[in-house]
């Protein structure tokens, strides 16, 4: 194991996959300059000359080129500087990449990864801080990946690059500098396999992305109240590991689902609905959701505190289901 930051783990995965497979290449805005806006593509231009391309500010063109290259046998890794800008390329993602295998009867596929820095970061306000996981969960043909740790980031990105179908890879900006142990060398995590980050007996907390760390912080606080919580990290939202989630729910009988996405029609709501359909008779209390309110992300640091959920929100939710 090596201790490294989240962005360093992604960089290692990218370098390893580019060394393994000459068809892997990188495109995006500023991916050469400064090693990319978040340093993930640092060193690619020097180590793999001719396999990384800085693009104009033209997301539809970037993703469209990626779709064509993937269909022609290449494996593009596309960085969209901010998740918000993927809205400029929704036709290419939703109507082309996602549907190509189906529309061609399996004759064509799109092995493309779209990396999506998302969430609140340096107080970048409403047009640079969105979380759209549920948008892409709704589209058949897309795989939606949300790593929460450096190790998961490396293992899931390597799997994403090797996938024969398009992957929407969500990277929360605030986690880029978070450090953790990462396995060296070949390390892949299969899609559709959740991870139990902490075992417990009283409440199942299903946590997405940065809410995993916040839930682990909440678990320490809840120990003082005598509550032992289990934390399940889905890691991929599509495919979703319903088996692991339901196994945990049947053990504890109480559930909190938390994410930084809006709880209104968001990923937390889909997971809560799945649990209600699959494990209703096992529940000892109503399911509680923890998410952002249905508002644009503010610029003000004080207002952000009222929008983005924290460990205290998880503690409050657990107290509700235990009461």
Hey, what domains does the chain have and what are their CATH numbers?
A: 2-182 (3.40.50.970), 195-322 (3.40.50.920)
Q: What residues contact residue 216 under an 8 Å CB cut-off, 6+ apart? A: 197, 198, 231
What's the CA gap between 108 and 70, in Å, rounded?
Answer: 9
Task: To the nearest 10°, report the CA torsion of 244, 143, 6, 190.
Answer: 50
Question: Phi/psi class of residue 88: alpha, beta or left (left: φ > 0; alpha: ψ in -120 to 50)?
Answer: alpha
Give the residue-averaged pLDDT of 7-21. Answer: 97
How deeply is 316 buried, as exposed, middle or buried, from its count of CB atoms within 10 A (0-12, 13-18, 19+)?
middle
pLDDT at 124: 87
Predicted TM-score (pTM) of the model is 0.96
pLDDT at position 147 is 98
Sheet strands side by side (includes 288-292): 195-198, 229-233, 203-207, 255-262, 288-292
Q: Nearest 5°: phi and psi at 179?
A: -105, 155
User: What is the crossing angle of helices 211-223 and 311-322, to 10°?
Assistant: 60
Residue 53, exposed/middle/buried by CB under 10 A (0-12, 13-18, 19+)?
middle
**Confidence class of residue 26 from pLDDT cuts 50, 70 and 90?**
very high
What is the mean pLDDT of the segment spanning 117-133? Answer: 90
Cβ-proximal residues to 297 (8 Å cutoff; 6+ apart), any chain: 120, 124, 125, 126, 129, 130, 304, 307
State the sign of the Cα–Cα–Cα–Cα dihedral 35, 39, 43, 48.
negative
Mean pLDDT for 75-84 is 97
> CB atoms < 10 A from the CB of 243, how many?
12
Residue 122 in this model has a pLDDT that exceeds 80? no
In tens, the pLDDT along 209-246 reads 999 999 999 999 999 999 999 999 999 999 999 999 99
Is 144 within 8 Å of 305 (Cβ atoms)?
A: no
Q: How much is the pLDDT for 140?
A: 97
- Predicted local distance difference test score (pLDDT) of residue 121: 79
Q: pLDDT per residue over 249-304, tens digit each? A: 999 999 999 999 999 999 999 999 999 999 999 999 999 999 999 999 999 999 99
User: What pLDDT does 158 receive?
Assistant: 98
Cα–Cα distance for residue pair 61/141, rounded to 1 Å: 21
Tell me if residue 52 falls in helix, strand or coil.
Answer: strand
User: Which of the four pLDDT bands, split at 50, 70 and 90, describes residue 102?
Assistant: very high
C-alpha separations of 153 from 147, 169, 189 in Å: 5, 9, 9
* Catalytic annotation, residues: 128
| Over residues 80-99, mean pLDDT | 97
| Model pLDDT for residues 45-67, shown as the tens digit of each residue | 999 999 999 999 999 999 999 99
Question: What is the average pLDDT score of the chain?
Answer: 96
Of 103, 108, 113, 119, nearest to 142 (Cα)?
A: 113
**Rounded CA separation 157/162 (Å):** 9
User: pLDDT by residue (tens digit) across 139-198?
Assistant: 999 999 999 999 999 999 999 999 999 999 999 999 999 999 999 989 999 999 999 999
Listed in sequence order, the residues at least 6 apart from 312 whose beta carbon sits closer than 8 Å to its beta carbon are: 218
What span, in angstroms and rounded, lies between the C-alpha atoms of 24 and 74?
Answer: 6
| Helix, strand or coil, per DSSP, at residue 180 | strand
- DSSP 8-state symbol, 128: S
Distance of CA 200 to the CA centre of its chain: 24
């Amino acid at each position: 194991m090596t201790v490294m930051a989240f962005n360093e783990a992604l960089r290692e995965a990218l370098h390893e996959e580019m060394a393994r497979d000459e068809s892997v290449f990188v495109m995006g805005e500023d991916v050469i300059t400064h090693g990319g806006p978040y340093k993930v593509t640092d060193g690619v231009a020097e180590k793999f000359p001719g396999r990384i391309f800085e693009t104009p500010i033209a997301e539809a063109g970037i993703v469209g080129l990626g779709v064509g290259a993937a269909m022609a046998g290449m494996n593009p890794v596309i960085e969209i500087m901010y998740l918000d800008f993927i809205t400029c390329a929704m036709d290419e993602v939703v109507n082309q990449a996602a549907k190509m295998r189906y529309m061609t009867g399996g004759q064509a596929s799109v092995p493309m990864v779209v990396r999506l820095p998302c969430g609140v970061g340096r107080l970048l306000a409403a047009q640079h801080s969105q979380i759209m996981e549920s948008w892409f969960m709704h589209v058949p043909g897309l795989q939606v990946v949300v790593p929460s740790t450096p190790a998961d980031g490396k293992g899931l990105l390597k799997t994403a690059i090797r996938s024969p179908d398009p992957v929407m890879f969500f990277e929360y900006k605030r986690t880029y500098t978070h450090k953790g142990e990462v396995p060296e060398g070949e390390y892949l995590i299969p899609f559709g396999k959740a991870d139990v980050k902490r075992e417990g007996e009283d409440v199942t907390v299903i946590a997405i992305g940065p809410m995993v760390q916040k839930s682990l912080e909440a678990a320490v606080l809840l120990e003082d109240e005598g509550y032992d919580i289990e934390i399940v990290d889905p890691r991929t939202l599509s495919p979703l590991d319903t088996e692991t989630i339901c196994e945990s729910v049947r053990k504890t009988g109480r559930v909190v689902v938390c994410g930084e996405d809006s709880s209104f029609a968001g990923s937390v709501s889909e997971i809560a609905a799945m649990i209600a359909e699959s494990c209703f008779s096992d529940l000892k209390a109503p399911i509680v959701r923890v998410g952002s309110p249905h508002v644009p992300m503010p610029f003000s640091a004080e207002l952000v505190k009222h929008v983005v959920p924290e460990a205290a929100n998880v503690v409050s939710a657990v107290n509700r289901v235990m009461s």
